[in-house]
Structure 1
Amino acid sequence: MKGVTGVRSRRVRELLTNLGFIAPAVRGWRDQAACSGTNPEVFYPVGSGPEIAPRVAAAKQICAGCPVRQVCLADAMSWEDPALRWGVVGGLWAADRSELFENRRVNQIGEVA
């Protein structure tokens, strides 16, 4: 059974690499993040409708000037379950990350076909 798991892991890693979602190996990047020391709840606002928009914008503003935003986004995209996306990560709201994932997947399929 171990061999099957290894093959599956390689295939998943290969797919994620082809889609551009493998996070670069940058040690200590979280310490350099603009959000370091910020209450995590800022990035996971609760609510719906118009009341949530300013909260999402505030979280995105923190990410906007972050020196490791791209690494953060790549990290999240490499492990995040698409069905469970939530919050602002790497400067993108959950719906933005879903759209990014879908666009990359479609582009990858188009290039292969």
Structure 2
Amino acid sequence: MLTQQLEEKQAMAKALTTSEQQCQALKDQLAALNIRLQPLTSLDSQVEAQQQILQENQKVSELYLRHRNAANSFKDLDQQTPSYPSRASPSTRATHSITSPMAAALSTA
């Protein structure tokens, strides 16, 4: 009976040792997979960063196009409307006569 119990315990110890060895082998495999996975997660983060940059560039491009289109619209409107001389231009100042003494004093100052 004692030899039978001893044999059972030796078999259990051998099985436990085998299980520990298998567990260690699995841990080693997992570590190797994690090492191979790290560059992939780094690539994932780089891809995400590049996608964000592309989205920002697209927004900037859309804003630029809107600005350019608006500027072209104003340019087209400016070409369609007749041009009038501004009040500050020298040619219009010369054609207006100054009637008040205060305005005459200001214009010569």
TM-score, normalised relative to structure 2? 0.24
Specify which structure has the bigger relative contact order, considering alpha-carbon pairs within 8 angstroms and separated by 6 or more residues. 1
TM-score, normalised relative to structure 1? 0.23
Which has the larger helix fraction?
Answer: 2
